[in-house]
Structure 1
Amino acid sequence: MPEAKKLKFLFAINPISGGQDKSEWEVGIHNFFEKHPHTVELFLLDGKNDNEELPKQIALHQPDRLVAVGGDGTIKFVAEHALNANLPLGIIPAGSANGMAKELNIPATLEESLEIVVNGLAKPIDLICINGTEHCLHLSDIGMNAQLVKYFDEGKIRGKLGYARGALRVLMRRRLLKVRISTGNEEVLRSGFMVVLANARMYGTGAIINPDGDVADGKFEVVVIRQLSLLAILRMFIHFRPFDPKHIEIFPATSVHIVTKRKAYFQIDGEYRGKIREITAEIWPGKLRVMLPHLPE
């Protein structure tokens, strides 16, 4: 039997994602690789000079795979560098919600997710390119959820309690958006509480926004949340129930241009991006390779 190829892995670790110390994860990674012939390097992100330092680490270590350890924001950041370096992306879910990992069926435990990083399959997934400069792996949105992301980031309380407090602030300040949506095939005017660019099916909380979403189908969906009662909002944001299909409208698209009547909150993959009045987006099919579980026989 031929000897297994020895690989180099570079782990980019957010040490405080999800409000938890990751020092035990670092030990766990080293312990896991003691039984493998591969080389592993760890790089701790500090939120200051990561955009300059991570490419230096990639150039120094020349890894075969780049691995993100953190939540959706960390995964998005590291994915950008994996894309630039033409490297497969590994994912170790270590955030508070881990929406992208759930979407890709990556287990939450360190041992199981490391097994996929090492022995999984590198499969291409789509990206949504936004305004020609940023990429969305998962879900971006305008309106209420982006406002919630902003409030959560500003708060000092993490976890479900911090999320619930942010949700209550959103409830008190919610306003309808008036938007013009142009997909190339059609142009519509709509009023709603949220407009979502969905490359996937659900938020990290488990709330399903786009039931037929697929990260590798060569398109994305523009989802308009048109009506929300107070009860529906509480169910959605606090109890994490699925969105009521009677209150949403879905437009499949490969590109879109959205204009809002007034400035609205905007987020990309859980990262707040400020207020906007206009965005453009287009699908980049199969642009990013991600280490994923083998399909069952």
Structure 2
Amino acid sequence: MKILFIINPVSGGNDKSALTDDITAYFRNMENEPIFVFLDGKQDGRIVRNAISEHQPDRVVAVGGDGTVKIVAEHLMGTAIPLGILPAGSANGLARELALPATTPELLDIFANGTAQPLDAISVNDDICLHLSDIGLNAQLVKYYAENNWRGKMGYLRGVVRTLYRKRLLDIEIHSKKESFACQAFMVVLANARMYGTGAIINPEGELSDGAFEVIILRDLSFWEFLKMFWRYKPFDPNKIHIFPATSITIRTRRKAYFQVDGEYKGKIKEVKARIRSGELTVLMPPQAGEPT
């Protein structure tokens, strides 16, 4: 079995040489053959596409953060090749969402012996969302953080302060198969997963493979509701945070709004069209109980 490791050498600001040594050592006496390909930050999509075409792997492992995972996943959508995730970035939200093990040996066991399980994705305009995308307040924060010279918690806090100072309500029209309505909101989230990389749970009932995504409308900025995202005392107040499932949706705004997909700022838009792509990606997970390893 051929396993292709797509490695982002700069993700998380850590040297990956020790990690590649661990991978090589793990597979040394096994029939599984590890192949290493490194991204360059300039032509990552082309590198992934060419590596898959050249090596014809049985499994592909993304070594990096959420951005690396997404780049690799885009080239595996709709194929029979499963994706492995070795979190090694500053943001590893999808690995956390999947409750993947924290240690490298446990993860390598999954890549060698794990089960391929289907995972949904959301087609959002011309992009693919594995995790969370949104318009409004959080997308504005993503933009500010990317522009910030400060990193880490202080940079994030600085971005939060700037975002709250410049916040504004959006006039929104939402059209789904079941309903159409207009409202005002600070943010609208399209959620395939439950939580942001910060650990804030915006979509408590979210499932990554249920054939639908959730639309979360943040109507009001409430300290109590934000607190619930980190400490689940009670369900959200639907008058302040409204959540409903969808398989396709169109969102229009009267004025252009900040827009992000999986933590990447995409600019300002006036329309978002989204649909579920159910089970089009398979992800390597620990073997089910009773399965041979």
Same fold (TM > 0.5): yes
Q: Given that residues 206 and 241 in structure 1 are in contact (C-alpha distance below 8 angstroms), is that contact kept between their aligned partners in structure 2?
A: no
Q: Given that residues 12 and 90 in structure 2 are in contact (C-alpha distance below 8 angstroms), is that contact kept between their aligned partners in structure 1?
A: yes
1:36 aligns with 2:33: no
Find the counterpart in structure 1 of residue 121 from structure 2: 127
1:92 aligns with 2:83: no
Q: Given that residues 115 and 288 in structure 2 are in contact (C-alpha distance below 8 angstroms), is that contact kept between their aligned partners in structure 1?
A: no
Aligned partner of residue 256 in structure 1, secondary structure: strand
Find the counterpart in structure 1 of residue 53 from structure 2: 59
Question: In structure 2, what is the Cα distance between the partners aligned to 1:219 and 1:87?
Answer: 22
Question: In structure 2, what is the Cα distance between the partners aligned to 1:138 and 1:146?
Answer: 14
> Which residue of 244, 249, 261 maps to 2:242?
249
Find the counterpart in structure 2 of residue 292 from structure 1: 285
Q: Given that residues 105 and 293 in structure 1 are in contact (C-alpha distance below 8 angstroms), is that contact kept between their aligned partners in structure 2?
A: no
Classify 1:171/1:232 alpha carbon distance in 2 versus 1 (closer, same or farther; 3 Å).
Answer: farther
Classify 1:82/1:204 alpha carbon distance in 2 versus 1 (closer, same or farther; 3 Å).
Answer: same
- Structure 2: tracts of 5 or more residues without a match: none
1:26 aligns with 2:20: yes
1:13 aligns with 2:10: no
Equivalenced residues, count: 287
Find the counterpart in structure 2 of residue 157 from structure 1: 150
Find the counterpart in structure 2 of residue 147 from structure 1: 140
Amino acid at match of 1:291: L
CA deviation profile, 1:211-232 (whole Å, cap 9, x unmatched):
1111111111110111114686
1:71 aligns with 2:65: yes
Aligned partner of residue 45 in structure 2, secondary structure: helix
> Which residue of 223, 229, 232 maps to 2:216?
223
Classify 1:230/1:245 alpha carbon distance in 2 versus 1 (closer, same or farther; 3 Å).
Answer: closer
Q: Given that residues 5 and 37 in structure 2 are in contact (C-alpha distance below 8 angstroms), is that contact kept between their aligned partners in structure 1?
A: yes
Shift of 1:36: 2.6
**Length-normalised TM-score, structure 1:** 0.89
Q: Given that residues 9 and 16 in structure 2 are in contact (C-alpha distance below 8 angstroms), is that contact kept between their aligned partners in structure 1?
A: yes
Find the counterpart in structure 1 of residue 185 from structure 2: 192
Aligned partner of residue 227 in structure 1, secondary structure: coil
Question: In structure 1, what is the Cα distance between the partners aligned to 2:47 and 2:282?
Answer: 22
- Structure 1: tracts of 5 or more residues without a match: 1-6
Question: In structure 1, what is the Cα distance between the partners aligned to 2:70 and 2:269?
Answer: 20
Q: How does 1:206-217 map to 2 (within 5 A)?
A: 206-217=199-210
Question: In structure 1, what is the Cα distance between the partners aligned to 2:20 and 2:144?
Answer: 30
Aligned partner of residue 83 in structure 1, secondary structure: coil
Amino acid at match of 2:191: A
Shift of 1:296: 5.1
What CA RMSD, in Å, does the superposition of the two structures yield over aligned residues? 2.1
Shift of 1:236: 8.3
> Which residue of 257, 261, 268 maps to 1:268?
261
Question: In structure 1, what is the Cα distance between the partners aligned to 2:148 and 2:13?
Answer: 12
Question: In structure 1, what is the Cα distance between the partners aligned to 2:136 and 2:166?
Answer: 11
Shift of 1:35: 4.1
Q: Given that residues 215 and 244 in structure 2 are in contact (C-alpha distance below 8 angstroms), is that contact kept between their aligned partners in structure 1?
A: yes
Find the counterpart in structure 2 of residue 4 from structure 1: none
Which moved further from structure 2: 186-195 or 222-231?
222-231
CA deviation profile, 1:65-119 (whole Å, cap 9, x unmatched):
1111111111111100122654111101112231111111112322222221221
Amino acid at match of 1:110: T
Aligned partner of residue 251 in structure 1, secondary structure: strand
Aligned partner of residue 111 in structure 2, secondary structure: helix
Find the counterpart in structure 2 of residue 259 from structure 1: 252
Question: In structure 2, what is the Cα distance between the partners aligned to 1:39 and 1:156?
Answer: 42
